[in-house]
Every structure is written in structure tokens, then in C-alpha cells.
Amino acid sequence: MNKEVETELKAKIKQLEIPMKIKCSALYQHLQKVYDAQSVCDNANRKIIFDFTNEHGHLLSEIADVAMGTKALTEEMLEGKEDYFSAEELAAGEHLKSAQLDSFYLNV
């Protein structure tokens, strides 16, 4: 929790009447536990994102290279191409031409 917010909350709780002060101080302790749990969760999420980027980040780079037309297409990359191209298109070899996709990032 932000130190400034924490200080302000504590000051407000101090000004309350006793019955309300008791309840609010108990609620404040629970709120602290929630913030601690969120911090643990945030750290775990950062680790997951870091690990994903290290392990699979190259895939995102490869997608960008294909979209920008800077990577030559291979038969392996086009596995299952028969589902998308006719026999005539495959025979002509058009499926292996690498061209930039216009406005790729805007469309994605």
C-alpha cells in the first residue's frame, strides 16, 4: 500500500469513535493481508511473464518477421497448406512468396 494512503487511513481511523475504530482497525488489518497477497500474486505473474518471454519470445519475433516479409517462408512453416491453397496455387509456388502484410499491427 502507498505510504501516503496508509498514513491517511491510520489518521482517519484514529479520529473515529471507539466502536467504529475497533471495527475499522480490524478491517485495516485484513486490508493489509489483501495487499500482501496481491504483492505475492503480482510477483508470481511477473515471473510467469518473464519465463514465457525467455522460453517462447522467439515465436513472437518470428510472427513479426513473417508479417513484415523479412523471413523466407518454408514448406515446414506452411504445414497444412493444402487446406488453404488449391492444387494450382501450390504448383505455381505462390505460397512461398514472402510479402509484407499491410497494416499488420493495426489489424491485429
| pLDDT tens for the 108 residues of the chain, in order | 789 999 999 999 999 999 999 999 999 999 999 999 999 999 999 999 999 999 999 998 998 898 888 888 888 888 888 898 888 888 888 778 778 888 887 877
DSSP tag of 79: T
* CB contact at 8 A, 16 and 24: yes
**Can you tell me the distance from the alpha carbon of 94 to that of 82, in angstroms, rounded to the nearest whole number?**
13
**Can you tell me the distance from the alpha carbon of 80 to that of 76, in angstroms, rounded to the nearest whole number?**
9
**Can you tell me the distance from the alpha carbon of 21 to that of 95, in angstroms, rounded to the nearest whole number?**
72
Domain boundaries, the chain: 1-68, 72-108
Torsion of CA 16, 17, 23, 24, to 10 degrees: 0
